[in-house]
């Protein structure tokens, strides 16, 4: 992964942005430490709700919301929470925000809530959120924690969207519910089935691996 930064061309693109450390906190989650494609975290929602682009985005933003909020709270309370019960407290904080999100989504769109089902509640056990709380927010101040959460969340959204879009496009011939191809397009039903989730994620990871391979060869 580090080759990406060392690569001279990439560097020129990143240099200006990466001047300040806080920009880096934000950027790393999107590409270098992408929670899904690089860290392979939070797989359940990645696979379960990415059968359409809309679900994927909704799930992504819901997760990002919980991620940002819990990071904020954890970074603010990091000196208050006793070390022994910190994990339990993090889980409580996360569970609270997930419950809020759950009710909020129900209020915004019942259909969406239905199609995401129990997976909204399952954000609680998304290892991404707990790992950011423990690994970053508990050791950093407010601003970097927010940036880190936003970056990771955005990276998560991007990953979910790239899966959801591909699966919906092939599996249903549409994007956000709008038909893209001609009426006669033959849907690949497998893509919106569970197996399609496994295959699509594998495909994206494979692409990442091939890219990595190419770059390390090119060096």
The span from the CA of 35 to the CA of 54, in Å, is 20
Least distance to other proteins, CB of residue 206, Å: 5
The residue among 153, 180, 155 whose CA lies nearest residue 165 is: 180
Least distance to other proteins, CB of residue 190, Å: 4
**φ/ψ (deg, to 5) at 186:** -85, 115
Least distance to other proteins, CB of residue 211, Å: 10
| Interface contacts to other proteins, rule CB under 8 A | 40-41, 43-44, 47-48, 88, 91-92, 95-96, 98-99, 102-103, 117-118, 121-122, 124-127, 130, 181-182, 184-186, 188-191, 193-199, 201-202, 205-206, 209-210, 213
Residue 219, SS3? coil
Q: Give 76 or 210: the residue with its C-beta nearer to other proteins.
A: 210
217 Ramachandran zone, left/alpha/beta (phi>0; psi -120 to 50):
alpha
Q: Give 5 or 95: the residue with its C-beta nearer to other proteins.
A: 95
Q: Give 27 or 41: the residue with its C-beta nearer to other proteins.
A: 41
Least distance to other proteins, CB of residue 46, Å: 8
Q: Give 22 or 96: the residue with its C-beta nearer to other proteins.
A: 96
Q: Which residues contact 29 (CB under 8 A, 6 or more apart)?
A: 35, 148, 150, 151, 152, 153, 154, 155, 156
Q: Give 117 or 177: the residue with its C-beta nearer to other proteins.
A: 117
* Whether 59 contacts 160, CB under 8 Å: yes
The residue among 119, 99, 100 whose CA lies nearest residue 58 is: 119
The residue among 158, 162, 138 whose CA lies nearest residue 148 is: 138
Least distance to other proteins, CB of residue 115, Å: 14
């Amino acid at each position: 992964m580090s080759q990406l930064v060392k690569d001279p061309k990439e560097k020129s693109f990143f240099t200006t942005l990466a001047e300040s450390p806080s920009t880096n906190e934000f950027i790393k989650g999107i590409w270098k430490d992408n929670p899904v494609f690089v860290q392979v975290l939070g797989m359940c929602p990645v696979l379960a709700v990415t059968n359409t682009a809309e679900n994927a985005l909704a799930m992504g933003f819901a997760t990002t919301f919980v991620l940002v909020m819990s990071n904020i709270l954890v970074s603010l309370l990091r000196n208050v929470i006793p070390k022994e019960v910190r994990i339990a407290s993090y889980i409580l904080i996360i569970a609270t925000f997930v419950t809020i999100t759950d009710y909020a989504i129900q209020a915004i769109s019942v259909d969406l809530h239905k199609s995401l089902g129990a997976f909204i509640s399952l954000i609680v056990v998304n290892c991404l959120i707990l790992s950011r709380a423990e690994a970053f927010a508990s050791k950093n101040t407010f601003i970097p924690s927010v940036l880190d959460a936003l970056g990771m969340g955005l990276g998560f959204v991007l990953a979910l969207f790239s899966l959801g879009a591909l699966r919906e496009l092939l599996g249903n011939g549409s994007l956000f519910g709008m038909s893209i191809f001609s009426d006669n397009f033959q849907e690949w039903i497998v893509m919106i089935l569970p197996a399609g989730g496994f295959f699509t994620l594998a495909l994206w990871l494979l692409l990442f691996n091939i890219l990595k391979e190419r770059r390390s060869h090119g060096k």
